[in-house]
Structure 1
Amino acid sequence: SVMLAVVPSKPVHTIPHRSNPVLLGLVGIRGRLRLAIDVGSLLGIEGSADGQRSLLVSHQGQDFVFPVDRVIGLERLPLRELASARAGSCRRGVLPFEGQPLTVLDTEKLWNSIRELARL
């Protein structure tokens, strides 16, 4: 998986009979339509991103847009300090980061869940 860019959020166009709380729809970014995925809904996090920014991410040749509240940056994390997450979730665990809990995702489980819920 590769994070391509942080982009301003654009209008999401629902896909008839396909959109759901995780698969929001399609977004036009850089002249191409991309699937918009609500990772918060996938993780069971209440509330949605503020709609100001989105992450443009590529995984196995497929581009996705994830609405986000904010982007702190790219950081190397001490995974040996990871507190375990509940089994079966897309969370790998939690780390303290700048005085706040930071959820570390299991990217394989995340992408498998996205494929299943978006029926890709």
Structure 2
Amino acid sequence: MSDESRTTTVEAVEADAVAAPRGRDREAYAEIARGLLDRPLPPEYRAEWALHFASEKAIESEVEEERAAAVIFRIGEEWLALSTAVFEEVAEPRRVHTLPHRRNGVVRGIVNVRGELLVCISFATLLGIDKDVAVERRDRSLHFERMVVIGRANGRIAFSVHEVHGIHRYERSALSPVPGTVGQAVSSFTTAVLNWQGRTVGLLDEIRLLDAIDRNIA
């Protein structure tokens, strides 16, 4: 099946499910979700990612090793950064279709991004962030809420953020250790801290993060 045909089919399925009665809507998305959530990881997945990150520094020049780039974003009051190596795109907010019998808190449901159905997760839940703080304070920056898509060897994952700053390039030597005041859940995924515009930004470890996501959607 061509990419164009596959996209058309996915859009047709979603349109039919949304227009259908509530019961049929749940059944349709449950069936689609099972295919997304139950797909097996390729045997070489771990090995490929380990090789990728292990060899990355070996092929960089000495100057390039001192610089890196990450996308900075905000969830609640937490400013975080994730390597550009795993970022795919930033899109407008999308409707999240919840999944029946899926109540672990991390998996929110599925979303349609450019005709592709993606599993949508809650970074706030995964990282233990109080995402409602900004809402309680009527934070005007909620107008900048976005849907972020990150790529993996075996697919893509989406999650919502309250704000996206964009790409930030930094010197590796400027990174600071993670302070003890950072929450336990966040610190377990944070490899270092960036100082940006007077703010403290937690630099997330993409390998640990992707492993945790795999476990939660398995």
Classify the TM-score, shorter chain: 0.7 to 0.9
> Would you say 1:11 and 2:11 are equivalent positions?
no
1:17 shift after superposition = 1.7
2:164 aligned residue? 71
> Would you say 1:91 and 2:184 are equivalent positions?
no
Question: Which residue identity is paired with 2:164?
Answer: V
TM-score (norm 2): 0.49
Question: Which residue identity is paired with 1:18?
Answer: R
1:41 aligned residue? 125
Rounded to whole Å, the distance in 1 between the matches of 2:131 and 2:178 is 24
Say whether the 8 Å CA contact 1:85–1:91 is kept in structure 2. no
SS at match of 2:120: strand
Structure 2: gaps spanning 5 or more residues: 1-84, 135-141
SS at match of 2:111: strand
SS at match of 1:71: strand
1:60 aligned residue? 153
Larger helix percent:
2
> Would you say 1:104 and 2:188 are equivalent positions?
no
SS at match of 1:74: strand
Rounded to whole Å, the distance in 1 between the matches of 2:100 and 2:112 is 17
Rounded to whole Å, the distance in 2 between the matches of 1:77 and 1:103 is 13
Structure 1: gaps spanning 5 or more residues: none
1:19 shift after superposition = 4.2
Say whether the 8 Å CA contact 2:105–2:122 is kept in structure 1. yes
TM-score (norm 1): 0.85
> What do residues 7-56 of structure 1 show as CA deviations (whole Å, max 9, x unaligned)?
11111111222243211110011111101111121111111584831112
Alignment identity in percent? 29
> What do residues 55-95 of structure 1 show as CA deviations (whole Å, max 9, x unaligned)?
12111131111101111111122333221367871111222
Change (3 A) 1:42 1:79: farther
Rounded to whole Å, the distance in 2 between the matches of 1:20 and 1:14 is 12
* RMSD, matched Cα: 2.2
- What is the aligned length? 119
